[in-house]
Structure 1
Amino acid sequence: MIITTKFKEIKSKLATPVVSNILWLSLDKVLKLVIGLIVGIWVARYLGPSQWGELNYVLAFITIAGTVGKLGMDGFLIKEILEHPSKKNEILGTSFFMRLLIIPFVLGAILIYFYLLNLNADYYWLLAFLSLNVFITPLDLIDLDFQSKLQSKLTVVSKNTAYVLGAFLRVYLLVSNKPLVWFAAGMGFEALLSYIFLTILYQKNNNIFQWTVSISLAKKLLRAGWPFTLSSLAVILYMRIDQVMLGSMVNEKELGLFSSAIKISDIFIFLPMAVSSSYLPSLVHAKKTSQELFIRKNQFFINWMARISIVLAILVTLFSDQIIQVLYGADYMQASGILVIHIWSLVPMFLGVATSQYLIIENLQKFSLYRTVLGLIFNVLLNLYLIPRYGAFGAAFATTISQFVAAVFSMALFQQTRILFKMQLRSLTMFFNFSL
């Protein structure tokens, strides 16, 4: 009887819209991780390092273009919708218009860059098909409306249905021995399909044709949201600039090897995000109790982030040859050394995510932008020096060093964040001290 009652209590808590929304978003991440890993590695093995690098080179530009096209305002727009529900259609319609307006300029800039590099026709075909991912991003505003209502389930269902169908399409292309451009076309078709499904679900209870445009609201959104746009652009450049520079300065094969290595590192990125968001309520409660408890809880959290990341880095370092051999095959064995270098970027990345909660609670978010911009600058400068000399290995070194600069050493530059720098150093010296 007691067990039944407890079970009902747990079930009732899990049935809340907030928890349900989190579970659906988690399912989205896990499903894409599993399918992406299996099918993505199969595609990489089929294409080989050179063509795999060519595809990832164009994809890096598409990712940057998509982020710029969204203007980095997603979180800000959700807040606006929640605060002004009566103006929802005006907010969505104006944002839709703003995104439509900027996308041709972004894609035009990429075309000019390709022309200046004198790239062959294959790159333009890849860009043409993959650009579907960018052209339809204004429809991603539907997802923001769903998020504001805690209805992310609808986005997850529509996008993952398309994602699964896209995975089957890629498998067909693999067994049919199709050329590279077919895979780009398949990815573009998958993106188009996902937004068709998303729009159909939205139209059941809403009407996209009721969205309206306000020039005055557009000016207001740009004035209020430009810090988010700048921050989002800095983050995506920080994440993709190494691939762009490697593909531009060396060759597709080096980029293919680098891309295969970083996909192994990327598998672990969700861990600090998940742990960090789960630990946030505990930190908020500690802050309300006392500053001393808040600091102690932060130190405990940072210590464990250091331990987890170092253990992961050691394990991948020890078994890098076996990991690359099993997943990618003999053609990619050079990626093993790249992985050994790049996997250690997990340590500062975990520490950076851990300290971001402190910055949020203490209302010091501006330092997140500062350290991202600093990391971007270091990454570009290091890539300019290391890539011509060491190729993909140089890019891996640049990523790892710039991550340490951005996530750890930048915290020593500002008085308000110096306490975090001390916590991070302490966590690295307390690796075996599990009492803290």
Structure 2
Amino acid sequence: MKLPTIKGFDEEAFNKYLKNTGWLMFGKIISLVVNLAITTYLGPILFGNLSFGLSLVAILAAVGGLGLDTFIIREVIQEPGKRDEILGTSLWLRIITNGLLIPIAIGIYLISHSLSSNPGESLVLLIALLSFASFFKSFNVIDSYFQSQVQSKYVVQVQNISLVVTSIFKILIIAFSLPLIYIVVAYILDAVVLAIGLIIAYQKRGLNIFNWSFNKTRAKLLLKKSSPLILSAVMVTIYMKIDVVMLKSVGSKAVGIYSSAQNLSEAWYFIPTAIITSVFPALLNARKTDLVRYKKRLGNLYDLLVYINIPIALFISFFAADIIHIAYSGKYDGAGIMLSIHIWSGIFVFLGMASSQYLIAEGYTKISFYRTAAGAIVNILLNLWLIPKYAGVGASLATLVACFVSTFYLLLIPKTRHQGIMMLKSLFLVTAFQKIFKH
């Protein structure tokens, strides 16, 4: 079957986008290789402890972001003269919130640890250090500023420098057989280098972070605007990370084996993400000028994502056990069945991401939140039922069903039902066969 092209999209703009994100993709590939080495080095139990800590801290870090990213970009564009006030106020709001989240993360862990029937070793220090690393993400307000100026290339450069530094550090950890805590320190190093790099990049543009100021009125205004997005961000993170946190009740080894499969399943997500992001401007343009073409482009995008995913999912499903064995040198055998299930979640994740662009274009932000909340609730309920019975396999099944529910939640809403039907047609190759028989 010939893969479709997205007719009507600006090919030159698409190629330019791919060129501009080349370094970002390079960074993703390097990160994947290093993470595979770390996962193999640690083994299921230690990697399970690390994955649990990262997932718990990630859920709380969603609160620390305060949903401000979008509003920082918008406020700076609308009031460029108030740049220092907007960025300074946003930074201090995040610093205070992320600072408070460190003891909260430790407290939540201590409570869950004391109530667990299978607590394992104490991970207080690991949780504390990972929370501290998350604290430095407060400086991502500079990233938002560069986005507002369409200068994200500077952020990508800083990210790649940080990646190289921490990758070298992680390789040295493996070479000298150092304990897990050094890998946790690597996450702090990554966060610190990234924060310093962002500050330097900002200063080199002729700007000065020391001119930033905090404004109480601005703080209240930002929090009022962004408060609905805080809950939305938390729901998204719960939706993506709660399975690892809940699986800890079975034991660290179960977390490690499941996480090894999950990481491989999600390793290539950046490719469809790049496609979706690149065609979004063309979708918006078509909506303004030609609604028929707008609908056709959405359908073509859904088709393309399905055609990309199905061959990959089929291949990995058949050879999952071999892939796990080769990738992790036989240390995670047993994760194959989890990978063969989890890989199919990707098709719903990508359709969900693409249809989210539609929801943004139409201004249906509440529906976007509701669908994510539905996915999170389904994931939690299914994990409560399936994890005690089937451990990582149960978590994989829960994720698959939750992703399906979240994506096709649009079928339940009258004004978005036609999008759900379009995605179903793409999923079951209805539009593909229509195109074949049409010719």
TM over 0.5, shorter chain: yes
- The answer to whether residue 422 in structure 2 is matched with residue 427 in structure 1 is no
Q: Residue 29 of structure 1 aligns to which amino acid in structure 2? A: L
RMSD across aligned C-alpha pairs, in angstroms? 2.2
Contact 2:321–2:334 (8 Å) recurs in 1: no
1:34 alignment partner in structure 2: 29
Contact 1:261–1:336 (8 Å) recurs in 2: yes
* Alpha-carbon separation, structure 2, partners of 1:124 and 1:20: 46
Q: Quick one: which of 11, 23, 43 aligns to 2:38?
A: 43
1:79 alignment partner in structure 2: 74
SS at match of 1:46: helix
**How far off its partner does 1:121 sit?**
6.6
**How far off its partner does 1:194 sit?**
2.2
1:54-77 deviation digits (Å, cap 9, x = unpaired): 011111122223322111221221
Q: Residue 256 of structure 1 aligns to which amino acid in structure 2? A: G
1:279-299 deviation digits (Å, cap 9, x = unpaired): 334433443444333333322
1:113-171 deviation digits (Å, cap 9, x = unpaired): 22111367751221233233222122111222222222223222223212111111111
Once the two structures are superposed, the pairs formed by residues 37-436 of structure 1 within 5 Å of their partners are: 37-116=32-111, 117-118=113-114, 122-204=122-204, 205-247=206-248, 249-408=249-408, 410-430=409-429, 432-433=432-433, 435=435
SS at match of 1:31: helix
Mark the runs of 5 or more structure 2 residues left unpaired by the alignment: 1-9
Identical residues among aligned pairs (%):
34
Contact 1:160–1:194 (8 Å) recurs in 2: no
- Closer/same/farther in 2, CA of residues 133 and 21 from structure 1, 3 Å limit: farther
**How far off its partner does 1:324 sit?**
0.7
- Closer/same/farther in 2, CA of residues 333 and 20 from structure 1, 3 Å limit: same
Q: Residue 416 of structure 1 aligns to which amino acid in structure 2? A: K
* Alpha-carbon separation, structure 2, partners of 1:21 and 1:306: 22
SS at match of 1:136: helix
Q: Residue 232 of structure 1 aligns to which amino acid in structure 2? A: A
SS at match of 2:178: coil
- Closer/same/farther in 2, CA of residues 197 and 392 from structure 1, 3 Å limit: same
* Alpha-carbon separation, structure 1, partners of 2:226 and 2:390: 40
SS at match of 1:157: helix
The TM-score, its normalising length taken from structure 2, stands at 0.90
In terms of mean alpha carbon deviation, does 68-77 or 423-432 score higher? 423-432
Contact 2:39–2:47 (8 Å) recurs in 1: yes
Contact 1:66–1:133 (8 Å) recurs in 2: no
**How far off its partner does 1:337 sit?**
0.5
1:7 alignment partner in structure 2: none
- Closer/same/farther in 2, CA of residues 158 and 281 from structure 1, 3 Å limit: closer
* Alpha-carbon separation, structure 2, partners of 1:143 and 1:298: 29
1:191-222 deviation digits (Å, cap 9, x = unpaired): 21222222223233221111111111111111
Contact 2:142–2:202 (8 Å) recurs in 1: yes
**How far off its partner does 1:242 sit?**
0.9
The TM-score, its normalising length taken from structure 1, stands at 0.90
Q: Residue 59 of structure 1 aligns to which amino acid in structure 2? A: L
**How far off its partner does 1:423 sit?**
1.1
Mark the runs of 5 or more structure 1 residues left unpaired by the alignment: 1-9
* Alpha-carbon separation, structure 1, partners of 2:51 and 2:327: 18
Matched length: 419
Q: Residue 169 of structure 1 aligns to which amino acid in structure 2? A: F
- Closer/same/farther in 2, CA of residues 82 and 289 from structure 1, 3 Å limit: closer
